[in-house]
Structure 1
Amino acid sequence: MVQALRARTFSTVFAAAKKAGLSWNAIAAATGLKADRISLIARGEAQITAFDTVERIADGLRIPGAMMGLAARSWESDAPVTPRPAMEDESMHRRNLLRSALAAGLTAAPLTELTDLLGKADNALAGAGPADIARLEATTEQHSYGYGGRAPTDVLADLIADFSDVVPLLQRPQPAAARTALTRIMGQLGGMAAVVLHDLGSQREANAWFATAARSAQESGDRQLHAWILARKAMVPLNFGAPEAAAAFAEQARHIAGATPTAAAALAAAVTGRAYALSGRREEATAALRDADRLADTLPEDQRADTWFGHCEQKHHVHLSHAMTALGETRRARESQAHALALSAPTSTLTRTLLRLDAATCQHRDGHTLDACQAAVATLVDIPVRYQTGLTRRRAVDLYRSVPANLRSAPAARWLAEVLAV
């Protein structure tokens, strides 16, 4: 029972309660759930994911909060009688819990909480106190500067914690201008959380967060943010084996962004070029990359910021590196890799790793396959374990899959296979 409560396996909890003498109707009266649903849950035919429902079960069945990963319940005799913490303290507590959970991996418990939070966000967007817009906008801007050397799971925990601060504000009536600002902030925070989930290799969760972020941006009326979100969403199928689907999303982003030189328009064109390159559609790839170069060259200064929402020179060359590598234009790919590495901040581990893997793929395309395998291994073992997942692993797997069968028994190829297996 202790293990079931900790894992929130309510099939075991309800079945044990029934065995101890509680009827489904008694559990229903205590928790506010329907008796037939409780019966289904006990048989493992239905599940509980909503956080509010978990709290109702804890309170109705008098289960101490600590046993279910909750705060001490108000009825617990040993719960400290202290004033309710300020919003900032609650946010910090939630942030620390998220960091611990996410650092342990994207397992069922943290993913359930993320899904529950998305549900609340969608409900808030469907609904109607003044909000501290300036503070939220400043927090969002700080997030936009990227990883800054921090672990992706730490960044994700902070983004989700701040996102969850916006949700209750949208659940209350707001002046029109405040609601517009809040939906825009939700779109930005949700989009950045989706980017991190993509980098961690969690495709399903990334797509779900991109969907809510896109809806937020659309409601706010910010077409450039909407285009940016769709362009970043296109990078999920782009980097995980579905370039045709990526091209469709990217073209949609280009349409929304329009012809004016903006960071979103440049990103959408670059992603479109990469998608067509991976699909083997050389002419369309070349045309899209030509547009991306034109837009990047004419961007206003404020659109060139080195943030997730800007399109700086380094970011542009990272996209070009991947596109030219896919097209087999290794000389141009290496030029972009050199430019991007020269511009890369010392703490940009993910960027450096992807560029080095592109360079290894260029070696393979130039006929030096075993040298490419050695370079990929050196890249993977040179980075912390937390970066050896998701996007970086997929890029290395793509390289290994392109190794001819007659070379896979060579030591360098076997070594790459062993590193990827680990």
Structure 2
Amino acid sequence: MPEPYRSKELPVSLLTDPAMIEACQARDFGRIFQLVKARAGIYPSTIARRCDLTPSRVGEVMAGRRQLLHMDVIERISDGLRIPGHMLGLARRSWETPQNLTAVPRESPEEPTPTDAQVASGLPGADVDSILALAAERDLSPSTLDALHSSIADYWRRDDEHGGETLRPAVVGQLRYVVGLLREQRPTPMRNGLHSIAAELARLTGWTYFDARQYNQARAYFTEALGLAKAVEDRQLMANVLACMSLQATYQDKPGDALALVTAAQDQARGAEGTTPRVQAMLAMREAFAHAVLGNRGATHRAISEAHSHFGRISADDPDPAWVAYFDEPKLIVDTGIAHGRLGEAALAEPLIADALRREPRSNHRGRAFHALWLARTQLHRGKLDEACHTAMDALAPAAAVSSRRVAGHLREFYEQLEPFRRETAAVAFEARLREALPRQVSGSPRP
């Protein structure tokens, strides 16, 4: 085993210590970090670097002033400190596979089934694909750009309904196709249109990775989208991409990055000609999210007020970009509720999220699941256990219908927040429904 890898491992004596096992089961990261420092000689600054946290946050956790609850942060700690996944209630981590484990080929490889062989023989090879591409007509027209825009709108609709996991290969394929078209000489209007389409396809790809909580891949595609938009000085689209990256940073528990990114987004929008009130309202709400995660109450309220002020100036004649059409009144309301919820202002959050949820289209499975879980969390925060569990039950069907690890993470967090009430009738009923609808969400979880 290479020495750099070995140096990352914690001593076996620590991993088998009852105190460490108990701290991991409770996800008491303050105690875990203290044990790692005392028993493995790994100091807070190194813990922060390995786990992609700030040293001040590690210090707050060790002092008992902060808890770490987000699943992606827990996964980073498991990977950064080499704590086996099962100790923290996670799936087996990729690095836990023994280095000397190799696959042994069968002595007699199985022949593909006739169906597989027929399918394979019916598809052209890569060389033929290249030849056909060279022979194809490459003349583009405005109607071609309209068709590509329509396909993007359809991708977003299907992403809302089903999630992006199965959608992603088609989106990436179309992105690479459009990027290929950009390598040829085009009139400036056509070239600018292709750049904008490629940027939006890259943003959509990044979004599908973000929704799957594959943050490194998401960041790579968001960065590609930013570069494509910058090539044609589409500042509004640049602002939108930066806003997506800001939202991702809030999920990664990096509020400082979130605020810096949304501030840059607003700078781009202010420098763009014809930035619409709807775009400005969306960006102000993303700023509110960043401030809320930082705990900046006054700044959060100011950003919320600014978002509503911009939204009030929206006109039917505004030349809104297609990518901001989703930010309608129900979205403004639910985001306002979520911002209050992030601040711990559950009494303000609950009626707003409930109102928006009533207006949510039935076809938007991810939105319904996501917002129902936020409503359940605010109700639980207000001591309304029965209502919270009932609302969370309403989230199970849409959560099961959509492939979204982000929604699954919120569901898991709500389930864990029920721990003090696990024997209550409402919590027992919810867990039974959860195990029936989404058994993987509770596999490996401690039972009462």
TM-score normalised to structure 2 length: 0.60
What is the Cα deviation at residue 374 of structure 1?
5.6
Match of 1:72 in 2: 125
Q: Does 1:420 align with 2:441?
A: yes
Alignment of 1:94-113 (within 5 A): none
Q: Structure 1 residues 241 and 178 mapped into 2: Cα distance closer, same or farther (>3 Å)?
A: same
Q: Given the alignment, which residue of 282, 291, 305 partners 1:276?
A: 291
Whole-angstrom distance in 2 between the partners of 1:176 and 1:85: 27
Contact 1:341 1:352 in 2 (8 A): yes
Contact 1:314 1:344 in 2 (8 A): yes
Whole-angstrom distance in 2 between the partners of 1:292 and 1:87: 49
Q: Given the alignment, which residue of 156, 171, 190 partners 1:159?
A: 171
Alignment of 1:17-416 (within 5 A): 71-72=124-125, 131-144=140-153, 146-148=156-158, 149-258=161-270, 261-301=276-316, 308-310=323-325, 311-369=327-385, 372-373=388-389, 375-376=391-392, 378-383=393-398, 385=400, 387=402, 389-400=404-415, 402=417, 406-407=420-421, 412=427, 415=431
Contact 1:238 1:246 in 2 (8 A): yes
Whole-angstrom distance in 2 between the partners of 1:221 and 1:284: 30
Whole-angstrom distance in 1 between the partners of 2:423 and 2:322: 43
- Structure 1 outlier segments of 4+, above 6 Å: 86-89
Query: Deviation per CA, 1:195-219, whole angstroms, max 9, x where unpaired?
Result: 2222232222211111100111111
Whole-angstrom distance in 1 between the partners of 2:126 and 2:264: 48
Q: Structure 1 residues 73 and 211 mapped into 2: Cα distance closer, same or farther (>3 Å)?
A: closer
Contact 2:365 2:401 in 1 (8 A): no
302-311 or 200-209, larger mean C-alpha shift: 302-311
Whole-angstrom distance in 1 between the partners of 2:276 and 2:406: 29
Q: Structure 1 residues 303 and 270 mapped into 2: Cα distance closer, same or farther (>3 Å)?
A: farther
Whole-angstrom distance in 1 between the partners of 2:245 and 2:302: 21
What is the Cα deviation at residue 410 of structure 1?
5.7
Report how many residues are paired: 313
Contact 1:321 1:355 in 2 (8 A): no
Whole-angstrom distance in 1 between the partners of 2:290 and 2:387: 27
What is the Cα deviation at residue 243 of structure 1?
2.8
Contact 2:373 2:410 in 1 (8 A): yes
Same amino acid, percent of matched pairs: 21
Q: Structure 1 residues 282 and 233 mapped into 2: Cα distance closer, same or farther (>3 Å)?
A: same
Whole-angstrom distance in 2 between the partners of 1:215 and 1:160: 16
Given residue 383 of structure 2, which amino acid in structure 1 is its aligned partner?
G
Given residue 420 of structure 1, which amino acid in structure 2 is its aligned partner?
Q
Contact 1:227 1:265 in 2 (8 A): no
What is the Cα deviation at residue 268 of structure 1?
1.3
Given residue 372 of structure 2, which amino acid in structure 1 is its aligned partner?
R
Q: Structure 1 residues 224 and 349 mapped into 2: Cα distance closer, same or farther (>3 Å)?
A: same
Whole-angstrom distance in 1 between the partners of 2:197 and 2:147: 10
Q: Calculate the aligned-residue CA RMSD, in Å.
A: 3.7
Which stretches in structure 1 are left out of the alignment for 5+ residues? 1-43, 45-63, 90-128
Q: Structure 1 residues 401 and 302 mapped into 2: Cα distance closer, same or farther (>3 Å)?
A: farther
Q: Structure 1 residues 200 and 266 mapped into 2: Cα distance closer, same or farther (>3 Å)?
A: same
Partner SS state of residue 147, structure 1: helix
Whole-angstrom distance in 2 between the partners of 1:374 and 1:254: 39
Whole-angstrom distance in 1 between the partners of 2:386 and 2:358: 26
Contact 1:261 1:296 in 2 (8 A): no
298-307 or 234-243, larger mean C-alpha shift: 298-307
Q: Structure 1 residues 280 and 340 mapped into 2: Cα distance closer, same or farther (>3 Å)?
A: same
Partner SS state of residue 157, structure 2: coil
Whole-angstrom distance in 1 between the partners of 2:332 and 2:377: 19
Query: Deviation per CA, 1:37-64, whole angstroms, max 9, x where unpaired?
Result: xxxxxxx9xxxxxxxxxxxxxxxxxxx9
Q: Structure 1 residues 147 and 239 mapped into 2: Cα distance closer, same or farther (>3 Å)?
A: farther
Query: Deviation per CA, 1:66-124, whole angstroms, max 9, x where unpaired?
Result: 99x994366xxxx9xx99657999xxxxxxxxxxxxxxxxxxxxxxxxxxxxxxxxxxx
Given residue 366 of structure 2, which amino acid in structure 1 is its aligned partner?
L
137-146 or 262-271, larger mean C-alpha shift: 137-146
Q: Structure 1 residues 369 and 166 mapped into 2: Cα distance closer, same or farther (>3 Å)?
A: same
Which stretches in structure 2 are left out of the alignment for 5+ residues? 1-98, 100-116, 444-448
What is the Cα deviation at residue 166 of structure 1?
0.5
Given residue 353 of structure 1, which amino acid in structure 2 is its aligned partner?
A
Q: Structure 1 residues 268 and 386 mapped into 2: Cα distance closer, same or farther (>3 Å)?
A: same
Contact 1:144 1:192 in 2 (8 A): no
Given residue 314 of structure 2, which amino acid in structure 1 is its aligned partner?
L
Query: Deviation per CA, 1:220-254, whole angstroms, max 9, x where unpaired?
Result: 11111111111122111223433332222111111
Whole-angstrom distance in 2 between the partners of 1:243 and 1:140: 33
Contact 2:250 2:290 in 1 (8 A): yes
Whole-angstrom distance in 2 between the partners of 1:182 and 1:83: 21
Partner SS state of residue 184, structure 2: coil
